[in-house]
Amino acid sequence: MGFDMIEASDNVVEPDAGTLNRGLAMVRDLGLSPVEEIGERRDNADHEAMLAKVNGVLAGRADLAMIEGQELMDSGIRDEALILKDNCYTSWCVFEQANPRVGTMTVQIYAGKTGLTKAVGADVHIGNLTTYTAIETEKARLGLGLAGRLS
């Protein structure tokens, strides 16, 4: 079908560790790369617990950690991204961008993308981009913008 990764998400039902590990092993046995999602699409998440889960995922359970963006919006996406950058290997993280479907306003979306780019760097992996924001996001990665550089 053209894809090589499968996401394991706990948004609806949180599997126990054994079930999750067996599922991720089955994904690997099929020659695919497992991606584990971290987060629950709610504000005020426990960021220390999120960091521990990201590091657990990156320690071998999955090939990538996909971090829910909504939880990073409440207390400042840049601060939380810096905490993750300083305490885990963010090259293997995908930060899912919050979007209007979960009640995030456009100004928050742009602030989130800019904050992630500033905190993690131009090579930050951002997911959930809409087609109309993909080019703008790439411009931000290059340090370009309508009003000048990101700094």
Give residue-wise pLDDT tens across range 42-56: 555 667 777 888 888
Judging by DSSP bridges, how do beta strands 125-127 and 33-38 pair with one another? unpaired
Q: Please, where are the H alpha helices in 58-148? A: 70-73, 77-87, 106-120, 131-141
User: What is the pLDDT, as a whole number, of residue 116?
Assistant: 81
- Quick one: pLDDT at residue 96? 83
Q: Is the pLDDT of residue 29 over 90?
A: yes
pLDDT value of residue 31: 92
Break the chain into its structural domains and give their ranges. Answer: 35-141
Position 58 scores a pLDDT of: 86
Fold for 35-141, please state it: TIM Barrel (3.20.20)
* Cβ-based neighbour number of residue 95 at 10 Å: 27
Share of the chain above pLDDT 90, in %: 5
Beta bridge partner(s), residue 96: 127
pLDDT at 10 over 80: no
- For 102-118, the pLDDT digits (tens) are 666 777 777 777 778 88
- Mean pLDDT of the 89-104 span: 77
Mean pLDDT of the 46-71 span: 80
Question: What predicted TM-score, i.e. pTM, was given to this entire model?
Answer: 0.75
When mean pLDDT is compared across 26-40, 42-56, 63-77, the lowest value belongs to 63-77
Tokens of residue 18, six digits: 């054994």
pLDDT score of 57 more than 80: yes
Q: What is the residue-averaged pLDDT of the chain?
A: 77
